[in-house]
């Protein structure tokens, strides 16, 4: 069975809880209660071996590392990379939304799949 790595916004975002029941494939959720070296190594392993790497960005994003991961994977494994930004946690500031659209276009130009909502994500992972 195929497996998806659920990367992207953490920070108590609700996108994973909304998406997981809809998935028809296995998944790895990297969100843990305590970030340790073991958790970091497991995340790296899961990300590198998953059939798909999904990155969902929401307005709860605080860091930018997930954006780097999106572009890195869209270059290295474009056919396995899926990107979506979602307002499930509230709206984005207009300048952030514009930047995320540019990230989506860049990832898509690299060959990745850019989904406009979580429903499209479910369809892309089937």
8 Å CB contact between 74 and 58: no
Domain residue spans in the chain? Answer: 3-124
Say what the pLDDT of residue 126 is: 85
CATH of 3-124, one of 3.40.50, 1.10.150, 1.10.3470, 1.10.287: 3.40.50
Say what the pLDDT of residue 77 is: 96
113-124 per-position pLDDT tens digit: 999 999 999 999
- 65-91: average pLDDT: 96
4-56 per-position pLDDT tens digit: 999 999 999 999 999 999 999 999 999 998 989 999 999 999 999 999 999 99
Q: What is the pTM of this model?
A: 0.95
Give the max Cα distance, the chain.
39
């Amino acid at each position: 069975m195929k497996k998806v790595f659920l990367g992207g916004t953490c920070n108590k975002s609700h996108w994973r809880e909304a998406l997981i029941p809809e998935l028809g494939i296995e998944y790895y959720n990297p969100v843990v209660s305590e970030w340790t070296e073991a958790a970091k190594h497991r995340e790296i392993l899961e990300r590198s071996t998953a059939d798909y790497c999904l990155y969902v960005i929401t307005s709860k994003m605080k860091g930018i590392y997930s954006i780097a991961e999106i572009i890195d994977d869209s270059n290295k494994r474009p056919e396995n990379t899926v990107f979506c930004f979602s307002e499930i946690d509230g709206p984005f500031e207009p300048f952030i939304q514009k930047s995320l659209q540019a990230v989506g276009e860049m990832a898509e130009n690299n060959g990745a799949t850019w989904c406009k909502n979580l429903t499209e994500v479910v369809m892309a992972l089937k």
